Structure 1
Amino acid sequence: MVHTPSKDIFHQSVRTALEKDAWTITHDPLHLKVDDIEFFIDLGAERLLAAQKEGQRIAVEIKSFVGASEVTEFHLALGQTLNYRLALKKEDPERILYLAISQDTYQDFFSRQFIQDSLKEYQIKLLIFTFITKEIVLWKE
C-alpha cells in the first residue's frame, strides 16, 4: 500500500509560484522508490529552455518551519533534503533538488551564520517564495 504524506501548509503557494515562473508541475508528489524505501518529494517540475530541447527538471521539498523549534525543524528538513538528494541521484540524477521556504523564514532564521554555514557545507539549494503574492523571490544555489 502506497502512503502519500500530508501536504505542507505552503504547498499550494509554492506550486502557484512555480507555475507563475513558467514551470510545469509534472509530479505532485514526486514518488521515488529506492530498493524497498519509498520517498515522496512534494513537487516535481520542469521548464523548457529556449536554447535546449531538453529542459530543466527540479524536485522541490516544501517546509513551513511552524513547529515549536526552528532548530528542530531545520534538523528534520536538512536530513530529509540530504536523503531525497541521494534518492534522486540513484533514480533521477538529472533532477535538481530545492528546499522551498518562505521569505519570512529565510530572513528570520536562515540568515543566521550557522544556518548559512550549514547550507554551504551540505550544498543545499533554496527556493525562497512569498506566501502572500505566491511568487518566487530568490533561487539560492
Structure 2
Amino acid sequence: MPAKDIYHATVIQALIADGWTITDDPFYIAYGGRELYIDIGAEKVTIAAERGHEKIAVEIKSFLKPSPVSDLQEAVGQYEIYRTVLKELEPQRQIYLAVPKRVYEGIFSERFGQLIISSIGINIIVFDEQLQRIIRWIN
C-alpha cells in the first residue's frame, strides 16, 4: 500500500466540505495483471468519491521537489496512466489532479503549465491547504 501524501487529510476534508462522500481510500484498480492504487510513491494518494451520479478519482500531488517541471512530468505521467485504465474499467469515473493553490498559482498559471494542462486535458482540483477547502474545479 502506498504512503499517503502530506495533503491527504486536507483533500479528504475539502471533498467532504464540498458535499462528496469518500468511498475508497485509496482507490484500487487492477488491469492486465497489474495493480494500481492511483497512489504511486510516498506523496501520491488518490481517493475515490461520489456525489449523486458523479464518480471521481483524485490524485493528490504536493509538488515539493526542487524542480516544478519534474513534478509536473511525474504528475502528468501518472494522470495519463490512471485516466487510460479508468476509461477501460470505469468510464463513468472522472480523474482529477488535486494541487495546492500555491502550485496552481505557480507552474500551472505559467504559459508552460497552461499549455500542458490544455493540451492534455487535465481535470484539476485546486485546494487551499490552510482552509482545507476546494477553491476551484477545472474541467
Same fold (TM over 0.5): yes
Q: Note if 1:123 corresponds to 2:121.
A: yes
Matches within 5 A, 1:1-141: 4-41=1-38, 42-48=46-52, 55-141=53-139
Q: Give the counterpart letter for 2:88 in structure 1.
A: K
Q: Give the counterpart letter for 1:102 in structure 2.
A: P
CA shift for structure 1 position 68: 1.7
Cα distance in 1 for residues equivalent to 2:88 and 2:71? 26
Cα distance in 2 for residues equivalent to 1:81 and 1:104? 20
Divergent runs of 4+, >3 A: none
Q: Give the counterpart letter for 2:34 in structure 1.
A: I
Structure ID, larger Rg: 1
Q: The residue matched to 2:87 in structure 1 has which SS? A: helix
Cα distance in 1 for residues equivalent to 2:35 and 2:60? 18
Q: The residue matched to 2:130 in structure 1 has which SS? A: coil
The answer to whether the 8 A contact 1:34-1:90 is kept is no
Cα distance in 2 for residues equivalent to 1:47 and 1:119? 25
Q: The residue matched to 2:66 in structure 1 has which SS? A: coil
CA shift for structure 1 position 18: 0.1
CA shift for structure 1 position 85: 0.1
Aligned CA-pair RMSD: 0.7
Identical-pair percentage: 39
The answer to whether the 8 A contact 1:98-1:127 is kept is yes
Q: The residue matched to 1:38 in structure 2 has which SS? A: strand
TM-score, normalising length: structure 2: 0.93
List per-residue Cα deviations over 1:28-66 (Å, max 9, x = no partner): 000000111111121000001xxxxxx100000000001
Cα distance in 1 for residues equivalent to 2:107 and 2:54? 29
Q: The residue matched to 1:8 in structure 2 has which SS? A: coil
Q: The residue matched to 1:127 in structure 2 has which SS? A: strand
Cα distance in 2 for residues equivalent to 1:95 and 1:28? 15
TM-score, normalising length: structure 1: 0.92
